[in-house]
Chains A and B, each alone.
Chain A
Amino acid sequence: DTGVSQDPRHKITKRGQNVTFRCDPISEHNRLYWYRQTLGQGPEFLTYFQNEAQLEKSRLLSDRFSAERPKGSFSTLEIQRTEQGDSAMYLCASSLSTGGSGNTIYFGEGSWLTVV
């Protein structure tokens, strides 16, 4: 049983470049989430998919950010025209959708982004 996997684990990019992160959720999980975490803070919700449908987006997700989950399995998070403020760890998570508050959300190891 593999957990949530993310790639790449680390990315250094120049300001203005585009970057893309990939997330492979736990295989039977139909919900997939993206969070962002900056130093000294807890993770903040960015967006959420149920199967291939993107059902919720945070106002933190500016127009430069786009997330997809084309076949309801893996997901990508693309950041266009990166800015130094985008430097953070981007965490992917997945869960089942059987309802209620108790479905555990399992996280990956995160993708660290540094914009120079």
Chain B
Amino acid sequence: AQKITQTQPGMFVQEKEAVTLDCTYDTSDPSYGLFWYKQPSSGEMIFLIYQGSYDQQNATEGRYSLNFQKARKSANLVISASQLGDSAMYFCAMRRPSGGYNKLIFGAGTRLAVHP
């Protein structure tokens, strides 16, 4: 079965420190995409970063980087220099060729709290 697992229901980090949010996935497809989204209390899902299964390098977008370990089927999000505005739910998601890449499968999410 295709599945995304986020084992950390909640995480705390001190402002300006780095934090890693874990994500493991399960798929037999050789081609897939992995996404991270941020969901503040307002509800909007904000796209953060994307990693393709064939990408040779780990994706980076500003303070966000994705630690992609294909053999372990993990795609952890690293947020450097945490800010108070980073407090939110974070979701890992996967997109597969089955059905033409038409949908994302999400994990249950990790709630991040950044403390001053």
Contacts and interface: CB of A to CB of B under 8 A. Distances in A.
Given A89-B43, A104-B47, A42 B107 contact: yes
B93 interface: yes
B64 interface: no
B44 A102 contact: no
A110 B107 contact: no
B97 A101 contact: yes
Contacts of A31: 102
Interface in B91-116: 91, 93, 95-97, 99, 101-109
A108 interface: yes
Interface residues of A, number: 27
Interface in B25-54: 31-33, 35, 37, 42-47, 50, 52-53
A17 interface: no
Interface of A: 31, 33, 40-45, 48, 55-56, 89, 91, 93, 99-110, 112
Interface of B: 4, 31-33, 35, 37, 42-47, 50, 52-53, 91, 93, 95-97, 99, 101-109
